[in-house]
Amino acid sequence: MEESQNKLLIPIAILIAGSLIAWGIFTTREKTPTINNSATDTSGQTTSQITKNTVEIKDSDYILGNPDADLIFITFSDFECGFCKIFHQTMHQIIDEYGKNGQVAWIFRQTPIYGVTAEEKAAAARCAGQLGNNTKFWEMSDKIFQTEFSKEKKFVVEQLTEIARFIKLDEDKFVKCLNSKAILEEVQQEYQNGVDTGILGTNTTQGGTPHTVILTRMGRTYPINGAQPYSVIKPIIDLIIKGQ
């Protein structure tokens, strides 16, 4: 009987994830302008139509938790997206429970679809990682979400520099990194990965942030659409882990 039940776990998880997609379209809908012509409509949330092999762990990723975890959450997120801020807190709650045992790890991909200041914040996070380490990337990311920013770029840069000082980064090196062409290209590559994956929309689907793809050690992928609450994601994690 137990073996029979286990065989049903993965299909059940898929059905639950599918229902989340529909639920997310109605509960986390947010209109957003695009920053380039390669993106399609970014209002609302994405569907599960994701090309399987386009979402994978990269050497450039910063990972919170054990890189060899049973499940890797890859979140496509934007620092100026209100729902992304909410889901960022949810993911920390997930890592607090499942990360300590090495079951879940988390990758944050930059998807700045709101414009220039979003790109600046995305660049700041990657600069923190380059100038510091993996920990500094996550410290910067958390502080950006916690900070109330100006709408003007010059003041945003000043605020980001203040955060860099607060987390003990070299200020001069941080400003130089923030203004470099190389760091902007890194951010744009992550953004393009989201576009190529279909997370920002396709010819037949809408897209938006946050969007998360769960990768398992067995090579399976499960989409989590929108800012789903912890109470919804937890049973999916439990089903996938038990079903492996």
* Selection from 54, 30, 203, 51 nearest residue 114 by Cα: 30
Would you state the pLDDT for residue 159? 97
Worst-scoring range by mean pLDDT, 8-22, 52-66, 70-84? 8-22
Percent of the chain with pLDDT over 90: 57
Q: What is the pLDDT of residue 99?
A: 95
Tell which wins on pLDDT, 177 or 2: 177
Residue 181, pLDDT > 70, answer yes
Mean pLDDT for all residues in the chain: 80
Q: What is the pLDDT of residue 200?
A: 66
Domain that holds residue 51: 2-243
Q: What is the reported pLDDT for 41?
A: 31
Which CATH number do you get for residue 151? 3.40.30.10
Residue environment code for 21-43, b if the CB has 16+ CB neighbours within 10 A, otherwise e = beebbeebebebebbeeebbbbe
> Which of 86-95, 181-190, 195-204, 205-214 tops mean pLDDT?
86-95
For 98-132, what is each residue's pLDDT tens digit? 999 999 999 999 999 877 799 999 999 999 999 99
With cut-offs at 50, 70 and 90, classify the pLDDT of residue 156. very high
pLDDT tens across 88-105, in order? Answer: 999 999 999 999 999 999
pLDDT of 216 strictly over 60: yes
Distance CA 236, CA 164 (A): 36
Beta partners for residue 225, in sequence order: 211
CA dist., res. 240 & res. 71, Å (int): 9
Average pLDDT over residues 214-218: 90
Q: Quote the pTM value.
A: 0.77
Using CB atoms within 10 A of its CB, is residue 59 exposed (0-12), middle (13-18) or buried (19+)? exposed
Query: What's the domain count of the chain?
Result: 1
